Amino acid sequence: MKKILLFLVIAVLFTSCNSKKNKNSGNAITVSILPEKTFVEKIAGTDFKVNVLIPPGSSPAAYTLLPSQLKEIANSSVWFRIGYIGFEYSWKDKIAQANTNMKVVDLSEGLDLIAESKQQHGNHFHFEGVNPHIWLSPKLVKQIAKKILDELILLKPEKSDEYKANYSKFAKEIEQLDSKIENKMKEYAGRKIIVFHPSLSYYARDYGIEQYSLEVGGKQTTPQLMAKIVDLAKKENIKVIYIQSEFDREHARVFAEEIDGEIIQVSPLAANWADNLIEMTNLFIENF
């Protein structure tokens, strides 16, 4: 009954939001996660109000859109999607209905994605089981930032030169960050880390380490997988499992007890994107 009432409220708000054209809509942008807000502001400064759909502390895999967020969506000119987050798939149609004039930009298009399968159909590829955590690869973020730049210029063509200059500066910062992490991690190539949720897949690919996850395909671990990774941890003398703050620690706790190790929290969704990647890198090195 509660779910029915929630959807009725949302339906009414969709209709209300869609029937009103906000005079400030051209200055609002919607993003799915906090790091995207950082990317937009690196290029556009404070020119746009950036609405973040998934608030700090919430899981992108299971977040439910609040009715109060529909007004923010209705006032937005563009929604920058990450591309394959569970929340985006569950809510993309309703978000689009809330603002039929809003452009939807999938930031994952054209990127070198990590997927369970990849099939070519004509001039495009169809992916299955895509890992969505593209923002944890500086190499991919440089491409993502270029996509954002192109859209911002369309919104404010008069600021084109300024945005291009800001993008160039940000791109150099990304390159420096990438180089710094590569230098830190090069002597640890081939080392293994164990995580609860496979959020570090692109990071691991970029910097030559191997990630093993208790959660596969968004599903909780099985006893068989738990036993397999426990054996790996003991063989490799791994004493740490990394977990995001948004996830239940119970399975991680059981695993940590099995290996006589500890749980270390990481924050892939932190707004201070560059500093956070360096902090995570230092954490990994400390525990190798």
Task: Write out pLDDT tens, residues 204-227.
Answer: 999 999 999 998 876 778 889 999
Number of H helices, E strands in the chain: 10, 10
Q: What are the structural domains, with CATH classification, of the chain?
A: 2-181 (3.40.50.1980), 189-287 (3.40.50.1980)
Q: What pLDDT sits at residue 217?
A: 72
Residue 127 binned pLDDT confidence (cut-offs 50, 70, 90): low
Least Cα distance to 264 among 231, 230, 227, 239 occurs for: 239
What's the pLDDT at 57? Answer: 81
Give the H or E element holding residue 211.
strand 210-213
> Among 276, 284, 287, which Cα is nearest to 184's?
284
pLDDT digits (tens, 9 = 90+) for 182-199: 999 999 999 999 999 999
Amino acid in the structure at residue 268: P
Q: Are residues 64 and 8 in contact, defined by beta-carbon separation less than 8 angstroms?
A: no
pTM beyond 0.75: the answer is yes
